[in-house]
C-alpha cells in the first residue's frame, strides 16, 4: 500500500484508557511535542474523581483530548479525528466523541471477555455493538508488542506493561509525522536519576513509531505544519500554573511579599503546589488545617502587609464566605481564586462548570459587594491573576477571581510576555500622618483607604468585623452604618473607572450579539468565527470583569437586535445582566453537564434564533 | 524607650460588666507590657493584639496598639497569618473558651502543633457570656444554663490537656485576680519561642458567677492552688506545709513533717523537661484531691513555624538560578517563532 502524507489544517486526538494507563501523561507529551514543533494547541483533560477507580470499568476511564493546528486553535475541539482506546471501557465511554469515520486505535490485548464484560457490553463484539464498522479501526496487540519490545530491558513485568502508553504515543507520532526528539529529551530529564529507565522508554517509543509505519494499517499520515504565530518566545502553560505566576508577578511589581494560605481541593490544588515551589521569588505558602484558616491566615497576612492570596474551588468558597465579609469590612487587599467545578456540594469534583458566579457575587451575609473577575483562557489566567492582585492592592479590597477546572487543567502555548508590559502596582501604604490616624478615611477618587502596616510607629489602629466610623471607632449609629455601607459599595463600583472597556469581536453591530464570560471564550470565539464565515451578522462580547461591569456594556448591547448569553450554568450571568442592564431582552444558552460547550451547539443555537 | 502602663491604654471606654474577671486580665496585660517591651527590646508598634468573638475578644479595642478583632473562632488563623507575614511582630491573641475550644478548636490545636510564636491568653469562664449564658466546652458536667435547662450531659475539656495533646511547648494557668502572677506568666510567655497558651480562670459575674470560687476564694486559695515555678519545690498551703510527691507513677499530696516527709522528698518543678508525663499530671490536678496548678507548667524549646517558613524561603532563594519573574517566565521548555 502506498503511504501518503496528507497536509491538514488541524486535527483532534483523544487518548483514553483506564485511570492507571497513563493517558494524562501521554496526552500531555503529545501536546507538548506539538507545541514545541510550532503548532497551535489546546488541551482538555477529562478524568474521574477517583485516583484508581475500579479497573476496566467505564467509571474509571481517564481521557485527554488535544487539538493541534496550523491555524488558530482556541478550543480542544468538539469531536476527535483519532481516538485511542486502551481498553473496552474507554471505547465505550468515548466512541461518541469520535467523528464519523475517525481512526480508532485499540489495544486488542485488553479486549478480552473479562474486560468487555466489565465495560458493560452485551455482546463480545464492541465494535459492532457501538456501530463502529465504518470507522477506521487500528487493532494492535499493544501490550504484547510492548512486552516483546522490552523483553531484554531488565525491567520487571509490571514496569514493562506500564510502558504500553509510550508504544501508543510512538504510533501516534508516526500518524501525525511528529518528531520524537522532544519526548526523548523529556524522558532523559525525567529519568536523570534513574538512567536505567531512559533506554527502555525511548526504545518502546521508537518501536511504536516503527510498528505503525510497518503494519501499513494506516493508509495515510497527516502533517500539520507549524502555525504562523507572531514571532517571539513561547511556552506551554496551564491555567493553574498561569494563575500562580500572575500572582508572583504582582508580588514583584508591588514589592509586597506573596502569602498564600490554602487548603488542598480539586481542581485548585495545583496553584498552591506551584506557589510552594517558587520560594526563590519570596512566596510563602501555608497549607492550612481547613479552608477557613486558609482565608483567615491570608487576611492576617494582608493586615501585616503581604500580598495575600487564598485559592480554592466551589465548596471551599462556601466555607470562606464569612471571612470574605471580614476582608471586605476591614478593607484589606486579598485575592480569592475560585477554580470552579461542578456542584452543588461535592458535585462532580473533576468536571468543569461556571456555577459559582452567584456565590461569588452574592454569597455573604450583610451588604457585601465584592469585585468579581473571570479568566478567559489558560494563559489569560496570568493576566487575570495579575490584575486581580493589582485592583485588590490599589483599591484595598478583596477580589474574587473565577477560573474553571477547564482552564486550570487545560493548557495552551503562550507567547511569553515581558514584565515591562505590565504596569506598576502602587498600594496606598501610609508611613506617617498628621494627627490621629483614621484608618477608614478614603481617597476622594478611588475611595480606597490607606494601608498602615503594623510596625509603623504612630499609626496604631484597630480593625475588625464590627461596623466602624471613618476614624475607626466602633459604631452602631444607624447613619454611620448606612454611610459606611454606601461607601464600601461605591468603592467597588468605582473600579469601573479603572478597568478596560468591553471589546466586541466580529460585527460591531448587527443581528445577534453572543455574550459570554470566563472560560467559554475559546468555544464562543470559534463559534462566532464560524458564523461570520457563514455570513451571519454576529458579534461576540466576552466579559472578564463582572462586578463592576465595564462602563460601555449598554453601548455594546444596544447595537444588536438580539442578545444571547451563553454560560455553563442555569443562568447566573444572564440574571445578573437583567438586574444591572434591564433595558435589554436577553436570550440564553445554558449547559450544566460538567463539560465545556461544544462549538457546534453554540452555532446551532445562534442559527436557530 | 521606657514605657508605662498608660502608654498601652486606648481611649476606648471599657465595656465589660462591673466585676467581670476580664478587667483584671486587662490590668495585668497593661502592667506586663512595659517590662515585656524592655526585656524583649521591642517597641509598642510591634505589638499586635488579635481576637475572635466573645466578651474577652473586645480586648484589642482597649489597647493602644495595632489590633485585629476577627470573627468567631478564627483569631488563631489571623494570628498565624500576621506572624508568618512579619515575624518581627509580637502577636497577642485574646480568646475565650467558646472561641478557642468550640468554634475555633481546629485552628487552636493546629497553631499549637505548628508551634508558631504567638501568645494566646485563653479566658476560661466556662460559659458563653456575650450570647447571654449558654454552656461552653469547659462548663462542668450538669451545669444548668439556658441551653441546658436540665443540666449539661457532656464532659468539659481541660484546656491544658488539649494543649499538651497537641504537642504544646508552653502552658501556664492563673486566676484573673492574681495580677502579679499574671505579669510573671506573661513575661515568660513573651520570652518563649513558640505558641504560649495562658489559661486565665476568669469569673463571669452575670452568667456563671463563682465558677472558680472553690479554689479562688481568698480564704482557701493558698490551700487549694499551688503556684509552680521552675526549679522550686512544689510546696503550697497557707502555712506552706503541704507538698507534692511522686508515689509510684502518680502524684500525691503530702504534709511536711508527717510520716517523716521533709522538703527533700518534695518534687522540684521542671517546666523545661520535654517529658510530658509529669506536666500532664500537673495540668490535670483537680480540687479536692489536689491543689489546682497555677504558674508556668510547661515551657520547652522547639523549632517555631514562622522561623522555619522564612528559613526555607531564604535557603531556596539563595540556591535558586531563577532570581526574578522575567527569568521564571523563560525557564523550562520554551521555543522561538521567527
A11 and A158 part of one domain = yes
Contact B94/A at CB under 8 A: no
A203 and A66 part of one domain = yes
Contact B60/A at CB under 8 A: yes
The answer to the question of residue B312 being in a domain is: no
The residues in B 97-156 lying below 8 A from A, measured between CB atoms, are 106-107, 110
Cα B152 to Cα B138: distance, rounded to the nearest angstrom: 11
Judging contacts by C-beta atoms under 8 Å, the chain B residues touching residue A33 are none
Q: What percent of chain B has pLDDT over 70?
A: 100
The answer to the question of residue A338 being in a domain is: yes
| Length of chain B (residues) | 338
Q: What is the mean pLDDT of residues A101-129?
A: 94
- Nearest to residue A444, comparing CAs of A389, A391, A494, A482? A494
Judging contacts by C-beta atoms under 8 Å, the chain B residues touching residue A304 are 48, 81-82, 85-86, 89
**Is residue A176 left, alpha or beta, with left meaning phi > 0 and alpha meaning psi from -120 to 50?**
alpha
Contact A38 B337 (CB under 8 A): yes
Q: Count of domains in chain A? A: 3
Residue A460 has its nearest CB partner, among B65, B74, B77, at B65
A497 has pLDDT over 70: yes
The answer to the question of residue A483 being in a domain is: no
CB pairs under 8 A between A and B: 205
The answer to the question of residue A498 being in a domain is: no
Q: What is the pLDDT of residue A20?
A: 83
How close is the nearest chain A Cα to the Cα of B166, in Å?
A: 13
* Full residue range of the structural domain in which residue A526 is found: 504-607
The answer to the question of residue B44 being in a domain is: yes
Judging contacts by C-beta atoms under 8 Å, the chain B residues touching residue A184 are none
Helix (H) / strand (E) element for A340: namely strand A334-340
The answer to the question of residue B163 being in a domain is: yes
The answer to the question of residue B189 being in a domain is: yes
A129 and A258 part of one domain = no
Q: Which residue of B has its CA nearest to A467?
A: B69
Judging contacts by C-beta atoms under 8 Å, the chain B residues touching residue A278 are 322, 328
How close is the nearest chain B Cα to the Cα of A392, in Å?
A: 17
Residue A349 Cα distances to A346, A406, A474, A572, B2, angstroms:
6, 12, 42, 20, 58
The residues in B 13-42 lying below 8 A from A, measured between CB atoms, are none
Q: What is the pLDDT of residue A215?
A: 84
Q: What is the mean pLDDT of residues B245-274?
A: 95
Q: Which residue, of A223, A252, A268, is where some domain finishes?
A: A223
Contact A286 B84 (CB under 8 A): yes
Best mutation target among B63, B85, B307 (most A Cβ atoms within 10 Å) is B85
A595 and A526 part of one domain = yes
Q: At what angle do helices A164-175 and A142-149 cross, to 10 degrees?
A: 110
Residue B81 has its nearest CB partner, among A282, A298, A457, at A298
Q: Which residue, of A356, A386, A421, is where some domain finishes?
A: A421
Contact B322/A at CB under 8 A: yes
Map residue A9 onto helix, strand or coil: coil
pLDDT band at A217 (very low <50, low <70, confident <90, very high): low
Judging contacts by C-beta atoms under 8 Å, the chain A residues touching residue B328 are 245, 248, 278, 281
The answer to the question of residue A49 being in a domain is: yes
Q: Which residue of B has its CA nearest to A186?
A: B333
Q: What is the pLDDT of residue B100?
A: 97
* Full residue range of the structural domain in which residue B83 is found: 5-231+290-305
Cα A422 to Cα A286: distance, rounded to the nearest angstrom: 28
The answer to the question of residue A137 being in a domain is: yes
pLDDT band at A2 (very low <50, low <70, confident <90, very high): low
Cα B147 to Cα B284: distance, rounded to the nearest angstrom: 27
The CATH number of whichever domain residue A385 belongs to comes to 3.40.50.970
Contact B69 A292 (CB under 8 A): no
Contact B335 A303 (CB under 8 A): no
Cα A513 to Cα A292: distance, rounded to the nearest angstrom: 40
The CATH number of whichever domain residue A53 belongs to comes to 3.40.920.10
Map residue B228 onto helix, strand or coil: strand
The answer to the question of residue B151 being in a domain is: yes
Q: What percent of chain A has pLDDT over 90?
A: 85
The CATH number of whichever domain residue A575 belongs to comes to 3.40.50.920
In the 8-state DSSP scheme, what is residue A538? E
Best mutation target among B53, B78, B316 (most A Cβ atoms within 10 Å) is B78
A207 and A301 part of one domain = no
A84 and A193 part of one domain = yes
The answer to the question of residue A450 being in a domain is: no
Residue A457 has its nearest CB partner, among B45, B88, B322, at B45
The answer to the question of residue B284 being in a domain is: no
Cα A407 to Cα A354: distance, rounded to the nearest angstrom: 11
Contact B78 A235 (CB under 8 A): no
A213 and A242 part of one domain = no
pTM, two decimal places: 0.93
Residue B337 has its nearest CB partner, among A232, A456, A459, at A232
Q: What is the pLDDT of residue A72?
A: 87
- Nearest to residue A337, comparing CAs of A261, A281, A276, A251? A261
- Whether the CB-CB separation of B186 and B28 falls below 8 Å is answered with yes
Within 8 A by CB and 6+ apart from B64, the residues are A460, B7, B8, B9, B10, B11, B44
Q: What is the mean pLDDT of residues A589-609?
A: 95
Q: Count of domains in chain B? A: 1
Contact B70/A at CB under 8 A: yes
Contact B337 A299 (CB under 8 A): no
Residue B333 has its nearest CB partner, among A36, A302, A464, at A36
Q: Which residue of A has its CA nearest to B11?
A: A473
Contact A230 B337 (CB under 8 A): yes
How close is the nearest chain B Cα to the Cα of A294, in Å?
A: 8
Contact A280 B317 (CB under 8 A): yes
pLDDT band at A1 (very low <50, low <70, confident <90, very high): very low
Q: Which residue, of A373, A398, A421, is where some domain finishes?
A: A421
Best mutation target among A412, A413, A462 (most B Cβ atoms within 10 Å) is A462
Cα B84 to Cα B304: distance, rounded to the nearest angstrom: 10
- Whether the CB-CB separation of A81 and A54 falls below 8 Å is answered with no
Contact B45 A456 (CB under 8 A): yes
ipTM of predicted assembly, 2 dp: 0.97
Tens digit of each residue's pLDDT (9 = 90 or more) over B34-80: 999 999 999 999 999 999 999 999 999 999 999 999 999 999 999 99
Q: What is the pLDDT of residue A219?
A: 72
Contact B85 A301 (CB under 8 A): yes
Q: Using only the alpha carbons of chain B, give its radius of gyration.
A: 22
> Which ranges constitute the DSSP H helices of chain B?
21-40, 75-85, 97-98, 105-114, 159-165, 179-191, 213-216, 218-224, 276-284, 305-319, 325-329
Q: What is the mean pLDDT of residues A20-41?
A: 90
CB atoms within 10 A of CB A216: 10
A250 and A211 part of one domain = no
A217 and A245 part of one domain = no
Judging contacts by C-beta atoms under 8 Å, the chain B residues touching residue A188 are none
Q: What is the pLDDT of residue B176?
A: 95
Tens digit of each residue's pLDDT (9 = 90 or more) over A425-477: 999 999 999 999 999 999 999 999 999 999 999 999 999 999 999 999 999 99
How close is the nearest chain A Cα to the Cα of B204, in Å?
A: 23
A56 and A10 part of one domain = yes
Contact B45 A464 (CB under 8 A): no
The answer to the question of residue B253 being in a domain is: no
- Nearest to residue A560, comparing CAs of A604, A504, A605? A504
A364 and A266 part of one domain = yes
Q: What is the pLDDT of residue A38?
A: 86
Contact A326 B329 (CB under 8 A): no
Best mutation target among A284, A304, A459, A475 (most B Cβ atoms within 10 Å) is A304
Map residue A234 onto helix, strand or coil: strand
Mean pLDDT value across chain A: 94
B315 has pLDDT over 70: yes
CB atoms within 10 A of CB A244: 30
A159 and A252 part of one domain = no
How close is the nearest chain B Cα to the Cα of A96, in Å?
A: 34
Asked, as a colleague might, if the bond just before B14 is cis with ω within 30 of 0, I would say no
Q: Which residue of B has its CA nearest to A248?
A: B325
B324 has pLDDT over 80: yes
Q: Which residue of A has its CA nearest to B324?
A: A281
The residues in B 270-309 lying below 8 A from A, measured between CB atoms, are 309
Cα A606 to Cα B20: distance, rounded to the nearest angstrom: 70
The CATH number of whichever domain residue B175 belongs to comes to 3.40.50.970
Q: What is the mean pLDDT of residues B7-15?
A: 92
Contact B66 A32 (CB under 8 A): no
How close is the nearest chain B Cα to the Cα of A419, in Å?
A: 6
Tens digit of each residue's pLDDT (9 = 90 or more) over B119-156: 999 999 999 999 999 999 999 999 999 999 999 999 99
**Is residue B282 left, alpha or beta, with left meaning phi > 0 and alpha meaning psi from -120 to 50?**
alpha
Tens digit of each residue's pLDDT (9 = 90 or more) over A326-335: 999 999 999 9
How close is the nearest chain A Cα to the Cα of B256, in Å?
A: 49
Residue B85 has its nearest CB partner, among A35, A259, A462, at A259
Residue A290 has its nearest CB partner, among B106, B312, B313, at B106
Residue A455 has its nearest CB partner, among B45, B110, B336, at B45
Residue A416 has its nearest CB partner, among B85, B320, B334, at B334
Contact B317 A290 (CB under 8 A): no
The answer to the question of residue B225 being in a domain is: yes
Amino acid at each position: 500500500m502506498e503511504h501518503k502524507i496528507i497536509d491538514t489544517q488541524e486535527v483532534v486526538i483523544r487518548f483514553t484508557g483506564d485511570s492507571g494507563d497513563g493517558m494524562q501523561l501521554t496526552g500531555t507529551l503529545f501536546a507538548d511535542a506539538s507545541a514545541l514543533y510550532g503548532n497551535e494547541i489546546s488541551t482538555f483533560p477529562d478524568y474521574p474523581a477517583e485516583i484508581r477507580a475500579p479497573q476496566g470499568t467505564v467509571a474509571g476511564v481517564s481521557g485527554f483530548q488535544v487539538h493541534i493546528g496550523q491555524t488558530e486553535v482556541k478550543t480542544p475541539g468538539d469531536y476527535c479525528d483519532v481516538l485511542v482506546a486502551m481498553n473496552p471501557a474507554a471505547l465505550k465511554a468515548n466512541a461518541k466523541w469520535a467523528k464519523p469515520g475517525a481512526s480508532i486505535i485499540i489495544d486488542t490485548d485488553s479486549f478480552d471477555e473479562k474486560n468487555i464484560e466489565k465495560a458493560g457490553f452485551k455482546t463480545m463484539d464492541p465494535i459492532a455493538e457501538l456501530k463502529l464498522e465504518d470507522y477506521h479501526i487500528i487493532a494492535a496487540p499493544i501490550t504484547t508488542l510492548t512486552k516483546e519490545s522490552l523483553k531484554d530491558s531488565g525491567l520487571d513485568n509490571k514496569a514493562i506493561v506500564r510502558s504500553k502508553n509510550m508504544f501508543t504515543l510512538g504510533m501516534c507520532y508516526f500518524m501525525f509525522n511528529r518528531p520524537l526528539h522532544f519526548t526523548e529529551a523529556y524522558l532523559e530529564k525525567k529519568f536523570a536519576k534513574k538512567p536505567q529507565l531512559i533506554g527502555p522508554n525511548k526504545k518502546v517509543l521508537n518501536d511504536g513509531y516503527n510498528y505503525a509505519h510497518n503494519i501499513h494499517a494506516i493508509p495515510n499520515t497527516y502533517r500539520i505544519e507549524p502555525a504562523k504565530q507572531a514571532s517571539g518566545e513561547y511556552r506551554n502553560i496551564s491555567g493553574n500554573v498561569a494563575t500562580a505566576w500572575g500572582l508572583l508577578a504582582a508580588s514583584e511589581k508591588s514589592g509586597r511579599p506573596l502569602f498564600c494560605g490554602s487548603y488542598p481541593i480539586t481542581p485548585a490544588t495545583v496553584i498552591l503546589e506551584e506557589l510552594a515551589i517558587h520560594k526563590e521569588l519570596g512566596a510563602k505558602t501555608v497549607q492550612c488545617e481547613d479552608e477557613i484558616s486558609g482565608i483567615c491566615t491570608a487576611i492576617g497576612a494582608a493586615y501585616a502587609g503581604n500580598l495575600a492570596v487564598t485559592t480554592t474551588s466551589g465548596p471551599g468558597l462556601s466555607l470562606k464566605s464569612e471571612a470574605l465579609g471580614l476582608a471586605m469590612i476591614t478593607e484589606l487587599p486579598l485575592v480569592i481564586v475560585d477554580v470552579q467545578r461542578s456542584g452543588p456540594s461535592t458535585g462532580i469534583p473533576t468536571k468543569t462548570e461556571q456555577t459559582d458566579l452567584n456565590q461569588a457575587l452574592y454569597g455573604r451575609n450583610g451588604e457585601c459587594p465584592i469585585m468579581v473577575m473571570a479568566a478567559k483562557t489558560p494563559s489569560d489566567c496570568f493576566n487575570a491573576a495579575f490584575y486581580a492582585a493589582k485592583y485588590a492592592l490599589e483599591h484595598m479590597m478583596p477580589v474574587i477571581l473565577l477560573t474553571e477546572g477547564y482552564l486550570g487543567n487545560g493548557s495552551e502555548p503562550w507567547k511569553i510576555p515581558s514584565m515591562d508590559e505590565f504596569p506598576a502596582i502602587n498600594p496606598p501604604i501610609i508611613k506617617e500622618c498628621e494627627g490621629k490616624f483614621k484608618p477608614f478615611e478614603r481617597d476622594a477618587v478611588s475611595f480606597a483607604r490607606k494601608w498602615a502596616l503594623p510596625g509603623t510607629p504612630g499609626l496604631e489602629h484597630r480593625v475588625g468585623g464590627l461596623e466602624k466610623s471613618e476614624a475607626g471607632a466602633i459604631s452602631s449609629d444607624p447613619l454611620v452604618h448606612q454611610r459606611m455601607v454606601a461607601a464600601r459599595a461605591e468603592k467597588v463600583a468605582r473600579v469601573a473607572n479603572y478597568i478596560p472597556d468591553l471589546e466586541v469581536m466580529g460585527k460591531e453591530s448587527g443581528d445577534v450579539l453572543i455574550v459570554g464570560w470566563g472560560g467559554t471564550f475559546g468555544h464562543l470565539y470559534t463559534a462566532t468565527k464560524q458564523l461570520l464565515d457563514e455570513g451571519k451578522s454576529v458579534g461576540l462580547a466576552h466579559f472578564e470583569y463582572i462586578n463592576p461591569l465595564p462602563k460601555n456594556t449598554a453601548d455594546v448591547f444596544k447595537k444588536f437586535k438580539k442578545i444571547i448569553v451563553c454560560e455553563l450554568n442555569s443562568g447566573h450571568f444572564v440574571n445578573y445582566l437583567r438586574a444591572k442592564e434591564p433595558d435589554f431582552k436577553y436570550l440564553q444558552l445554558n449547559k450544566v453537564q460538567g463539560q465545556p460547550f461544544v462549538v457546534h451547539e453554540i452555532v446551532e443555537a445562534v442559527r436557530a434564533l | 524607650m521606657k514605657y508605662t502602663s498608660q502608654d498601652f491604654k486606648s481611649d476606648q471606654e471599657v465595656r465589660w460588666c462591673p466585676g467581670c474577671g476580664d478587667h483584671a486580665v486587662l490590668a495585668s496585660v497593661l502592667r506586663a507590657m512595659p517590662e515585656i517591651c524592655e526585656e524583649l527590646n521591642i517597641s509598642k508598634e510591634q505589638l499586635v493584639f488579635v481576637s475572635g468573638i466573645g466578651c474577652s475578644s473586645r480586648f484589642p479595642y482597649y489597647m493602644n496598639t495595632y489590633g485585629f478583632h476577627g470573627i468567631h473562632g478564627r483569631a488563631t488563623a489571623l494570628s498565624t497569618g500576621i506572624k508568618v507575614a512579619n515575624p518581627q511582630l509580637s502577636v497577642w491573641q485574646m480568646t475565650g473558651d467558646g472561641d478557642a475550644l468550640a468554634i475555633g478548636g481546629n485552628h487552636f490545636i493546629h497553631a499549637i502543633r505548628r508551634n508558631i510564636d504567638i501568645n494566646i491568653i485563653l479566658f476560661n469562664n466556662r460559659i458563653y457570656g456575650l450570647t447571654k449564658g449558654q454552656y461552653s466546652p469547659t462548663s462542668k458536667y450538669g451545669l444548668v444554663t439556658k441551653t441546658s435547662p436540665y443540666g449539661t450531659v457532656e464532659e468539659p475539656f481541660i484546656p491544658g490537656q488539649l494543649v499538651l495533646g497537641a504537642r504544646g511547648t508552653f502552658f501556664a494557668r492563673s486566676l484573673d485576680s492574681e495580677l502579679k502572677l499574671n505579669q510573671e506568666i506573661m513575661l515568660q510567655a513573651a520570652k518563649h519561642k513558640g505558641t504560649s497558651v495562658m489559661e486565665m480562670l476568669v469569673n463571669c459575674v452575670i452568667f456563671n458567677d463563682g465558677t472558680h470560687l472553690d479554689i479562688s476564694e481568698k480564704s482557701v486559695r493558698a490551700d487549694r492552688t499551688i503556684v509552680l515555678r521552675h526549679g522550686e519545690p512544689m510546696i503550697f498551703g497557707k502555712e506552706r506545709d503541704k507538698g507534692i510527691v511522686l508515689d509510684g507513677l502518680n502524684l500525691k499530696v503530702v504534709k511536711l513533717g508527717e510520716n517523716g516527709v521533709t522538703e527533700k522528698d518534695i518534687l522540684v518543678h521542671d517546666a523545661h523537661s520535654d517529658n510530658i508525663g509529669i506536666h500532664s499530671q500537673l495540668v490535670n490536678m483537680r480540687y479536692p484531691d489536689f491543689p489546682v496548678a497555677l504558674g508556668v507548667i510547661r515551657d520547652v524549646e522547639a523549632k517555631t513555624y514562622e522561623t522555619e517558613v522564612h528559613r526555607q524561603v531564604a535557603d531556596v532563594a539563595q540556591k535558586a538560578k531563577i532570581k526574578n519573574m522575567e527569568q521564571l517566565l523563560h525557564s523550562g521548555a520554551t521555543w522561538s517563532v521567527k
